């Protein structure tokens, strides 16, 4: 028996089946005409969780946040032309963070490229510098050999996304007609049955387990003064527990970057050093504290002070991650280990004797606590909205078991500088791959989509907020209420801490970006909740109550960038003096 079919529909239904076989359940869709076959095939399949986002840039970052939260691959569907290019910022971020995204772009037929055809650009490997794999699917063809080739290439792309952890681009070429009841071919029902019996499910292979070389083990074994540095990463759920075990076993303190998340949760103890940036302000500290070894998990440090320390300190450095990524902007590390952190820790615990000397770690813990006490005493009397105190008050006010997305620029630096340790389970998220300020709100909404029951908060500056303002509409459309803590210094506050700020008129006209926008009118106009924070008590109250509301809430704190700069400088000088005095007394 022969039946009439649309070859685009058959092609895409086979693709959808392969997604389902590989347990890719979440799909972000931006509407368009050329992508009709892809969208339709996903839309009619109840297996998938579908998120429709009009703006492709929003969609890409939303998928990024969702993939980070579920720790699994998310598919993104867009139409052809410039819509494809809108995805690039999120793809770059996913590439450097090693977040698995399956980028599915619709395209005109290859023969229309470079002919002036409407909405046609050269999409062939358009993201080549920031993807793990590219597959141009060519035009649908229902011959069995082409269907098998199509399936094998799809499976290969998905395998790479899942195992290498990164974005993969599949480009689908389609000719009209797109709708399923606009027929293009007549084939036998037996052939259709055979097509959908194709099943070449890719199993993710664990790969060969890496072991540590003897010289690496000897290096760790013979060192007494070591540091464990944890930067941002997509750590496994049990990593923090095992990292603390390693710290106690070696008597190496853990320097926890603010983006790492290691300062928050049940594993927190005295081995974790959260004020290392403050200690680095002391000349006496730099002169007297000389680690012999630094073991680094995750990404590079957030702060420039820590980066300079890495560059200038006379210590061996071991960079550990499962992909062998060279996360070392200081260019001083000699040892890059392509090994899963859990395997590294297990080998060290099993093959190196426990270190009993605790003089080194006790000394650093004492100095860390000294800096923490000084920080609390310094911030306590401040009544104006200083960003450093915003961080400590926020961490103190957040409920146990919540998500916190932190924007780039000043917010993540302030978290790194000022965030205190707490036993509360705060899941921290950052976009520290390329560290841009675009797509931050969309990423937070993607995180919320996975964990609807957890209160989700976003700490963001005014410029990053403006960059992604249109994503607030997605919060309403998708019923994803989050709380946004908006620090408004009227644009460009971070530049006042840079040397260019001394260049008068040039700095004022070309670096500062005052906007004088009333965010209240914009936010209320969208039907979201808005509140301008009056004082610190009001701030804490709003943090507690906002998460119970069923709409997105924006809590605005207006700060003065110049005053904040002066307070920061005063704090750094005072804490440096405190630490210097400690060395003078000894």
Handedness of CA 439, 445, 450, 456 (dihedral sign): positive
Residue 461 has pLDDT above 70, yes or no: yes
Q: What's the DSSP call for residue 422?
A: B
Identify whether the C-beta of residue 441 lies closer than 8 Å to the C-beta of residue 407: no
Task: Enumerate the H helices of 352-497 as residue ranges.
Answer: 359-379, 387-397, 410-418, 440-450, 462-467, 472-477
The per-residue pLDDT for range 9-32, each reduced to its tens digit, is 999 999 999 999 999 999 999 999
pLDDT band at residue 201 under the 50/70/90 scheme:
very low
Residues of the chain with CATH 3.40.50.1220: 214-368
The mean pLDDT value for 464-489 works out to 96
DSSP 491-529: S-GGGGGSGGGGSHHHHHHHT-------HHHHHHHTT-E
Domain 2-195 sits in which CATH superfamily?
Thiamin diphosphate (ThDP)-binding fold, Pyr/PP domains (3.40.50.970)
113: confidence class by pLDDT, cuts 50, 70, 90: confident
Work out the average pLDDT over 342-368.
Answer: 95
Q: What is the mean pLDDT of the chain?
A: 93
* CATH architecture of the region 385-559: 3-Layer(aba) Sandwich (3.40)
pLDDT score recorded for residue 209: 59
Q: How does pLDDT run across 414-438, given as a tens digit for each residue?
A: 999 999 999 999 999 999 999 999 9
| pLDDT-above-90 percentage for the chain | 84
* Three-point CA angle 12, 13, 15, nearest 5°: 60
Average pLDDT on 179-190 reads 88
| pLDDT of 157 strictly over 70 | yes
pLDDT at 492: 60
Q: Which CA distances in Å does 479 have to 25, 519, 547?
A: 19, 21, 13
- CA gap 228, 141 in Å, rounded: 55
- How confident is the model over 215-236, as a mean pLDDT? 95
Tell me what the mean pLDDT of segment 162-172 comes to. 97
Which of 165, 175, 200 shows the shortest CA–CA distance to 18?
200
In this predicted structure, the answer to whether residue 70 has a pLDDT above a threshold of 60 is: yes
Class of domain 214-368 (CATH, top level): alpha beta
Residue 535, pLDDT > 80, answer yes
Per-residue pLDDT of 284-323, as tens digits, reads 999 999 999 999 999 999 999 999 999 999 999 999 999 9
pLDDT of residue 515: 78
Q: Does the pLDDT of residue 227 top 80, yes or no?
A: yes
Q: Hey, what are 512's tokens?
A: 């500062």
Tokens of 198: 């194709």
Cβ atoms 482, 100 nearer than 8 A:
no
Residue 498 has pLDDT above 90, yes or no: no
The least confident of 111-115, 356-360, 447-451 is 111-115
- What integer pLDDT is reported at residue 14 of this predicted model? 94
441 with 460: CB under 8 angstroms? yes
For residue 499, the model assigns a pLDDT of: 78
Most distant CA pair in the chain: distance in Å? 94
Q: For residue 56, what pLDDT is reported?
A: 98
528/475 Cα distance (integer angstroms): 9
pLDDT band at 49 (very low <50, low <70, confident <90, very high): very high
- Residue ranges, CATH 3.40.50.970, the chain: 2-195, 385-559
State the average pLDDT over residues 172-190.
91
In which band, very low, low, confident or very high, does the pLDDT at 494 lie, cut at 50, 70 and 90?
low
pLDDT at 98 over 50: yes
Question: What's the pLDDT band for 586 if we cut at 50, 70, 90?
Answer: low
Report the run of H or E that residue 581 belongs to, with start and end: helix 561-585
User: Is there a contact between 406 and 459 (Cβ–Cβ < 8 Å)?
Assistant: yes
Q: Which residues 6+ apart lie within 8 Å of 417 measured at CB? A: 258, 277, 278, 303, 388, 391
Residue carrying structure tokens 């997105």: 552
pLDDT over 80 (residue 217): yes
Q: Are 369 and 238 in contact (CB under 8 A)?
A: no
* Residue 33 pLDDT exceeds 70: yes
DSSP 32-80: -STTHHHHHHHHT-TTSEEEE-SSHHHHHHHHHHHHHHHTS-EEEEE-S
**Of 187, 232, 228, the residue nearest 355 (C-alpha):** 228
């Amino acid at each position: 028996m022969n039946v009439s079919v649309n070859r685009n529909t058959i092609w895409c239904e086979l693709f959808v089946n392969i997604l389902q076989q590989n347990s890719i359940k979440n799909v972000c869709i931006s509407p368009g005409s050329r992508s009709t076959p892809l969208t339709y095939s996903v839309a009619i399949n109840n297996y998938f969780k579908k998120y429709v986002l009009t703006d492709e840039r929003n969609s890409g970052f939303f998928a990024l946040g969702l993939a980070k939260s579920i720790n699994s691959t998310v598919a993104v569907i867009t139409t052809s032309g410039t819509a494809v290019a809108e995805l690039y910022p999120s793809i770059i971020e996913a590439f450097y963070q090693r977040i698995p995204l399956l980028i599915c772009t619709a395209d005109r037929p290859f023969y229309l490229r470079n002919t002036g055809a409407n909405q046609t650009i050269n999409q062939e490997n358009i993201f080549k510098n920031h993807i793990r794999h590219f597959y141009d699917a060519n035009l649908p063809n229902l011959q069995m050999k082409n269907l098998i080739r199509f399936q094998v290439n799809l499976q290969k792309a998905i395998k790479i996304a899942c195992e290498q952890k990164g974005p993969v681009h599949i480009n689908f070429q389609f000719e009209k007609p797109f709708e399923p009841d606009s027929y293009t071919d007549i084939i036998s029902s037996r052939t259709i049955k055979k097509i959908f019996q194709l099943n070449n499910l890719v199993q993710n292979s664990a790969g060969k387990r890496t072991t540590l070389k003897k010289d690496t083990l000897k290096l760790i074994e013979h060192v007494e003064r070591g540091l464990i540095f944890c930067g941002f990463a997509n750590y496994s759920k049990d990593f923090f527990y095992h990292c603390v075990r390693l710290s106690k076993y070696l008597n190496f303190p853990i320097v926890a970057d603010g983006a790492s998340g290691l300062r928050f949760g049940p594993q927190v103890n005295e081995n974790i050093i959260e004020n290392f940036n403050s200690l680095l302000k002391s000349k006496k500290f730099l002169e007297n504290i000389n680690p012999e070894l630094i073991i680094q998990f995750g990404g590079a440090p957030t702060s420039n002070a820590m980066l300079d320390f890495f560059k200038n300190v006379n210590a061996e450095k071991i960079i550990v991650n499962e992909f062998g990524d060279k996360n070392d902007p200081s260019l001083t590390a000699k040892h890059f280990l392509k090994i899963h952190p859990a395997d590294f820790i297990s080998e060290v615990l099993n093959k190196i004797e426990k270190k009993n000397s605790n003089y080194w770690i006790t000394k650093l813990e004492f100095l860390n606590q000294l800096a923490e006490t000084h920080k609390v005493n310094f911030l306590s009397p401040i009544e104006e909205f200083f960003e450093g105190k915003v961080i400590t008050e926020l961490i103190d006010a957040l409920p146990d078991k919540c998500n916190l997305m932190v924007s780039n620029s000043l917010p993540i630096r302030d978290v790194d500088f000022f965030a205190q340790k707490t036993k509360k389970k705060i899941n921290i998220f950052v976009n520290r791959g390329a560290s841009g300020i675009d797509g931050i709100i969309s990423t937070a909404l993607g995180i919320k989509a996975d964990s609807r029951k957890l209160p989700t908060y976003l700490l963001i500056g005014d410029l990053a907020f403006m960059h992604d303002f249109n994503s607030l509409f997605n919060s309403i459309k998708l019923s994803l209420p989050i709380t946004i803590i908006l620090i408004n210094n009227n644009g460009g506050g971070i530049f006042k801490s840079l040397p260019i700020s001394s260049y008068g008129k040039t700095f004022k006209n070309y670096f500062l970006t005052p906007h004088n926008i009333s965010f209240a009118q914009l936010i209320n106009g969208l039907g979201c909740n808005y509140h301008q924070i009056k004082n610190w008590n009001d701030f804490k109250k709003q943090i507690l109550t906002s998460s119970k509301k069923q709409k997105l809430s924006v809590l605005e704190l207006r700060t003065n960038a110049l005053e904040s700069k002066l307070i920061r400088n005063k704090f750094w000088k005072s804490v440096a003096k405190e630490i210097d005095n400690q060395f003078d007394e000894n």
